[in-house]
Structure 1
């Protein structure tokens, strides 16, 4: 799986059935669905798979308790069904997780409990466990480290958690095994053809290798043709739509904006602040937001915020008020107060919320549902939604392609049961290790032996990462840059930015040896500074 070999598979002479632009959750889901239906597929990602919003989630597979409170029953029902599908096809990366809502007022326990019983009912057979009322001692036992003063009890319910970046990687590798071609660091710089000039013409996509032979931004370009193109670039979909030729005389200026971006900030602290195997949910903070405290990979994730943004930075930074909000609200429910000195890493994701220019309550009032837009030129755009429903979104995108007659209709439904790369074989007798545990070889699922067979399995680099894992990432997981390994193949940057910085030189040397390409160590060191509170 060398970079040169993958790039050489771009064939300009023979159109593929489908080109997908965007290697986040949605684009990967679309490409896998299409490949399993027997279509020829190319997926092009300008950065790394899951490098944007799809690696910066709260790490939850959930139906959305707060969406139920908003009355969006259809979204909750769909998400609960899809939650079970993800748990089934990637049990080494996605697992059930119990939550507790603590009550500090007498009315909260029965009120939340009744609502969560409705949540159970909507899940039906896809439920992961029953909702239960807890007394004070039961709540403290489930959430050690919770503030005791004023506690009245709590409610326990079930959702799921996962490793978002490694799930994205498993999807990319599953597409490859299904016969598709996936390329990271391959930016689509121009689009032509389609139905813009009348009739059905193949699309021509100009693709730039952002790495090239010597790294950097200015690599060589290639062209491919595709009968259909899906734009699944998340918060950046409006830019791709504007790139495509339009059928109207007004051109791209006539296209309405699809995305109203919102940023969500997450903070990671030591697990000792709440050494629990349950997650904490505060359904309504003083300003009406939601607060999570989630045990994940040996650490504790706190979040999140919902702040409108007009710009679209590749690496958004937290606002001071967002960090203050998370630390202050967490301090209200945890026994030990939190300060910025406790922060090990902080990351920010941009949510592609469906635009509503007249919304008067900020992005919190915008829909978390997705939208699929078939343009007159034949381009199919999808945006919005969330990780939990990526598979259902992909099916609906393929249905939109059939309705627009850019692809011939073929039966589907395979992705609901198609095990992803690394998923243990049913009946293997090896129960998955909890995602709550510190990162280790269990994250590779059925591929642990292949990883161990790489040179350097006994050389530890930090946070559970070994030299063998880095070599496996380069050989089998499309990793080229230090960021690919320390941010997504291994979650070091998201767990402890300072330790990730210390690991960077060794990772860079191994990648250089494996690929012969620039591992971009300096770029990673600059990036990692942004994951530290106040930049360092």
Structure 2
């Protein structure tokens, strides 16, 4: 994935489909369309998965809450959502085994009756997952629960129900979709902002006018059809194509805080069964830390990246603390992040937490714009299939969808134990090799090879983490990392788990990127300054919380 080569092709060639938005749904559509033989352009105004698709709870699931609501309210749309999620769960796990894996979740209960309630519910949840091999749920005794999560408050604990869902590294999973689309023929590029559209005499979209935000260069992409996959920003593209359309998206803000791993001290995650307002909150191990979230609140402002505020923090702390023997010391907060959910509009007055995370393919008959609206990570492939099926109809084609069994970049012939071979062959520490195999899959050796010509690239960015300098070079050359934040936040995920270490390692990252991308000293310092400003916005909000 060479960005400059991609931009030249985007500027000079004609495309069947131009997809705007390279998050999960856009990248999924690009892969599906490319596999069906379409000539595809995929662009994003920022980095791949820089918005909603890197800010999830990292779960691949049908949605336990949807199942509960389906039966409580006799809402069969919720039941359909659960079924779709669990049907897709095994495909998400199978198609990128290096980036997605089973996750055991504990649901603590305070009484025999509660245990029976959740046990029955999760048995029903199991029954919908007919295609995968994840272990089935079971009711655990108190002693077994405390062995699995030793930090729980045993005085209030009666027992727990154990069940399984999937966990993924969302940003890198999206990147694997982008890479796979590229390797299937799609032309992809990040940091291309859409400024407008060119239209035919019949008022149909025929070009997408873009600006390269890195160079300022402006050009048009010639295309037969435009597919809008911009999530919470979908209405902006829709109205740019046709100002007479009604807005469809109600953005909802979801925030996570990240605490030390020792908060749960377990590889098991926890579903918190009782929250002050009936939401679902998870405490999940991720990248050596413990992630707690999420909130669900209305968001009228989509121009600024969502950040933590006092109400968010207090809600999450109040939700988790009753289950812990030792209450959270929020001064140990390591990081946090917020994202926007692209919820479809519903009746006035209905809260966003009660809206269904379903999707819809909208075709504007005036401009010809196709928009993929709503949805969630677990069903990205199904969403993409529905969208490209509709586009097949527009083009009067009947192409088979091939994504169900398409192994993503890095997943082919993946074997976690291959880290032992890398450890011996390249004289790298075991934890470094394990990290490389989990992040790059069967392509991990491509990172290791860089260290043979420059042994300094074996050096860690920080002594407390397995990330090495070679990854910076590799991600710039092959994964289209353009800024330090692309690398630190989305290629290795350090930003979302440890703000202090992110700032500490930033100069090392910037120095190596500057050489690769031919930055001047002034440009390098500007990148450093811009990123520190972004991080400090999060930290200042956290400081307000602590005060």
TM-score, with structure 1 as normaliser: 0.92
Alignment of 1:309-348 (within 5 A): 309-348=299-338
Match of 1:513 in 2: 515
Between 26-35 and 308-317, the greater mean CA deviation after superposition: 308-317
Distance 1:143 1:532 in 2: 29
Do structure 1's residue 528 and structure 2's residue 528 form an aligned pair?
A: no
Distance 2:461 2:140 in 1: 42
Do structure 1's residue 301 and structure 2's residue 291 form an aligned pair?
A: yes
Alignment of 1:237-316 (within 5 A): 237-244=234-241, 246=242, 252=243, 254-316=244-306
Taking structure 1 as reference, are residues 429 and 2 closer, same or farther at Cα in structure 2, changes over 3 Å only? Answer: closer
SS of structure 2 residue aligned to 1:447: helix
SS of structure 2 residue aligned to 1:295: strand
Distance 2:347 2:320 in 1: 32
Match of 1:88 in 2: 94
Match of 1:47 in 2: 46
Match of 2:153 in 1: 147
Distance 1:39 1:401 in 2: 10
Name which of 117, 129, 143 aligns with 1:111.
Answer: 117
Conserved? CA contact 1:120–1:127, under 8 Å: no
Match of 1:465 in 2: 467
Name which of 399, 403, 408 aligns with 1:411.
Answer: 399
Distance 1:397 1:53 in 2: 19
Match of 1:61 in 2: 60
Distance 2:7 2:83 in 1: 41
Conserved? CA contact 1:186–1:208, under 8 Å: yes
Match of 2:26 in 1: 27
Q: Once the 2 structures are TM-superposed, how far is the Cα of residue 427 of structure 1 from its aligned partner?
A: 7.8
Conserved? CA contact 1:498–1:532, under 8 Å: no
Matched pairs, number? 512
Conserved? CA contact 2:98–2:414, under 8 Å: no
Between 282-291 and 139-148, the greater mean CA deviation after superposition: 282-291
Match of 2:427 in 1: none
Deviations for 1:465-521, whole angstroms, at most 9, x for unmatched residues? 211000001000100100000000011100101110001011001001001144522
Deviations for 1:410-461, whole angstroms, at most 9, x for unmatched residues? 42221111111111416897599xxxx9982121111111101124432111
Distance 2:27 2:191 in 1: 15
Taking structure 1 as reference, are residues 290 and 176 closer, same or farther at Cα in structure 2, changes over 3 Å only? Answer: same
Conserved? CA contact 2:97–2:414, under 8 Å: no
Taking structure 1 as reference, are residues 521 and 450 closer, same or farther at Cα in structure 2, changes over 3 Å only? Answer: same
Deviations for 1:160-191, whole angstroms, at most 9, x for unmatched residues? 00100101111111111001111000111111
Taking structure 1 as reference, are residues 154 and 88 closer, same or farther at Cα in structure 2, changes over 3 Å only? Answer: same
SS of structure 1 residue aligned to 2:400: coil
Match of 1:235 in 2: 232
Match of 1:249 in 2: none
Gapped regions of structure 1 (runs ≥ 5)? 213-218, 247-251
Match of 2:356 in 1: 367
Do structure 1's residue 378 and structure 2's residue 381 form an aligned pair?
A: no
Deviations for 1:217-259, whole angstroms, at most 9, x for unmatched residues? xx11111111111000010000001111x3xxxxx1x322111
Conserved? CA contact 2:257–2:291, under 8 Å: yes
Match of 2:428 in 1: none
Conserved? CA contact 1:529–1:535, under 8 Å: no
SS of structure 1 residue aligned to 2:90: helix
Determine which structure has the larger helix proportion and give its number. Answer: 2
TM-score, with structure 2 as normaliser: 0.90
Name which of 435, 446, 453 aligns with 2:449.
Answer: 453
| RMSD, aligned CA | 1.9
Alignment of 1:64-75 (within 5 A): 64-71=63-70, 72-75=78-81
SS of structure 1 residue aligned to 2:343: coil
Distance 1:283 1:353 in 2: 23
Conserved? CA contact 1:15–1:202, under 8 Å: no
Distance 1:137 1:424 in 2: 41
Alignment of 1:419-430 (within 5 A): 419-425=407-413, 430=418
Name which of 495, 498, 506 aligns with 1:496.
Answer: 498
Match of 2:74 in 1: none
Gapped regions of structure 2 (runs ≥ 5)? 71-77, 421-430
Between 185-194 and 391-400, the greater mean CA deviation after superposition: 185-194
